[in-house]
Amino acid sequence: MPRQKFEDVAGGDTLLVDVVDEDNGYRQCTFRFTFEQHQESFNNIPNIKCYDDDIILNSYPKTGTHWLWEMLQMVIKQTAEVSNANKLREMIEALPTEVVDNLSSPRVLNTHLKIRYLPKDIIKKRLKMVLLLRNPKDVAVSFYHHLKGIKFYEYDGKFENFLRLFQSGGVDYGSYPEYLREWQTFIKENPDFPVHVVYYEDLIADCLGEMRKVCEFLGKEVSADLLRQIVESCQIDKMRQVKDEKMTDAMRQAQKAALNADFNMFRKGGIGNWKNRLTVAQNEYFDKWWDEETKDLDMFSFKFV
């Protein structure tokens, strides 16, 4: 199935994505691939080689992955220095599989993929997985800005139309409730598998405390002083500034080619922005939709702060 444009609503604006699984219409960002390259790479993901010390960071899009990936990188490298890289350097589906295979260890492999598409080695080797979640209203608002800000999508739709697309699961990576449902099933069917759930809102409220829990889960010994420095270095405004200062000319050119001028991957980093975006009617409709779609989910609890 070729690269396609999908309408957010009938007669609305279009979103450019690749349908990488024709059986269920699973969509992904085109990244930098041709469609043929993307399909080949996606089909090879189950065969990616994983190392015993890999950490797997799983998340639905726009749940704070860049932020937590940076902190996990600092933890495994025992440093509080912000790097000039971002999660795309170790993002499973955004790279050719042969590149992922040859990334040097230790690695924090990250992905928005559903569990069914993950490398088989993750399950076979029982690698530790961190699952990052965020309340769906803030996810929806952030996702909208994401699609508008990244040139690959060629999207310029209205927020009210995007909400319909989001609720229908028409965005890349599909439905958020379905993503959560697969995780709930996996965790309940594999209660001894090492999965640690982190909520974005809890990281905002008590980043130091939550990172202590993450380090304990990963079995990483990090001094209290270093962990405080890591949390301090990764405050969103400070991290954004340092990363900008460390960008090479080549990185700036790549960013210019991928992002619209007014967009930054580290946009706001706060919580509760949905209150400034959703109208009363939209919020009521969202609540009804979410309650219906997640009525069979009892493992996850979100804070709509």
* Numbers of helices and strands, H then E, in the chain: 13, 7
The domain total for the chain is: 1
pLDDT band at 265 (very low <50, low <70, confident <90, very high): low
Beta bridge partners of 59: 132
The pTM for the full model equals 0.95
pLDDT digits (tens, 9 = 90+) for 104-151: 999 999 999 999 999 999 999 999 999 999 999 999 999 999 999 999
Domain of 16, CATH number, reads 3.40.50.300
298 within domain boundaries: no
Q: Is residue 180 part of a domain?
A: yes
Q: Say if 88 falls within a structural domain.
A: yes
Q: What pLDDT is stored for residue 251 in this prediction?
A: 85
Burial class (CB in 10 A: 0-12, 13-18, 19+), 191: exposed
Dump pLDDT digits (tens) for 222-261. Answer: 999 999 999 999 998 898 889 888 888 888 888 888 888 7
Structural domain of 76: 4-293
Any residues with CB less than 8 A from the CB of 202 and at least 6 apart, and which? 210, 303
Query: Does a structural domain hold residue 211?
Result: yes
Helix (H) or strand (E) holding 36: helix 35-44
Inside any domain, residue 305: no
